[in-house]
A and B are shown apart, each in its own frame.
Chain A
Amino acid sequence: MKIAVLSGKGGTGKTLVSVNLAVAAKEAVYIDCDVEEPNGHLFFEPKPIGSEQIVIKIPVVDEKLCNGCRKCVEFCKFNALAYINNKLIVFDEVCHSCGGCMLFCPEKALAEKEKMIGEVQYGVSENVTVVTGILNIGEASGIPIIKNLLNYAKGEQAITFIDCPPGSACIVMESIKDADYCILVAEPTFF
């Protein structure tokens, strides 16, 4: 069973609740999806058992092959590409790594480069497996890290607590995608 813990705003106690639920369960997995500032590990102080770097793929153009047809510019619905002064410009931080521009390029002028955006760390703290996602400072989107975190939870039999980022943006929707239940933490101060 997967239980996601989320809240409308920051500072309501998502981490407090999810960390304690994980400890109270006999055997549990705690996944910190608050990749912009993961802090569940501060309470668990897990013994590290491994880590994985999270890499996304960004298009790079070979200017010798690009003939300026703009098929890629028209295709990209996130508008990560522009064709200016007979040159293709790629906006790395707008790119969602779908790879479509490369498929559509008739000149095969686009290739992929890898960009490291963060890390997933695994550790153990007594009966709790602690999985933490960390997004590098300055990166625009933690979604690829969340996807990796939730992949870890897929085959997991133990009860899994997903500590979500605050709010209700894409990154939260991604975090609760596989959840069976959501717990919303609220506290009564003015926003």
Chain B
Amino acid sequence: MKIAMPVNDKSMESCVGNTFGRTSYFLVYDTETKESIFVDNSAAASQGGAGIKAAQTVVDSQVEALITPQCGENAAKVIQASNIKIYKIINDSIQDNINAFKHGELSLLEKIHGGFHGHGGK
């Protein structure tokens, strides 16, 4: 199964990014083949709607699960429309989260935060 995770750098030793929409890269990891691909997040520098564009990238990577510290409502709408499950990270270690996912120890991300559309949030 392929899973996606926002990460700070193109390395398995890097950390999980602390945002979703404006993370630097997405790790796309295949739990069967253990293959890892790092995808540039072109949404990182967006003027607005970064979450939507980042979610499009994740969906296009054909993953079945997203592991993230947080996710905004617009991004969640895109992710959920493609039946990708959103899980919450347990810490900022990429490997810990992959292991936890494999063992079914991750819980679904329950808190979908409101967007910061416009200026400074609402």
Please list the residues of chain A having a beta carbon within 8 angstroms of any beta carbon in chain B.
73, 76-85, 87, 89, 91, 93-94, 140-141, 167, 169-171
Give which listed residue, B46, B74, B120, contacts A77 with CB less than 8 A: B46
Task: Decide if B47 touches A77 in the complex (CB within 8 Å).
Answer: yes
- The answer to whether A140 touches B118, judged by C-beta atoms less than 8 angstroms apart, is yes
Q: Which residues of A contact B81 (CB under 8 A)?
A: 84-85, 87, 89
Q: In the complex, which residues of chain B have a beta carbon less than 8 angstroms from the beta carbon of A83?
A: 56
Cα(A89)–Cα(B81), bound, Å: 9
Would you call B117 an interface residue if the criterion is a C-beta within 8 Å of the partner chain's C-beta atoms? yes
Count, chain B residues at interface, CB 8 A: 20
Chain A residue nearest in CB terms to B54: A79
Whole-angstrom CA separation of A84 from B118 in the bound complex = 24
Is B56's CB under 8 angstroms from A82's CB?
A: yes
Taking a contact as CB atoms closer than 8 A, the residue among A78, A89, A140, A171 that contacts B47 in the complex is A78
Other CB < 8 Å A-B pairs besides A77-B47, A141-B118, 7 of them? Answer: A78-B48, A79-B43, A84-B56, A84-B78, A91-B77, A93-B117, A140-B118
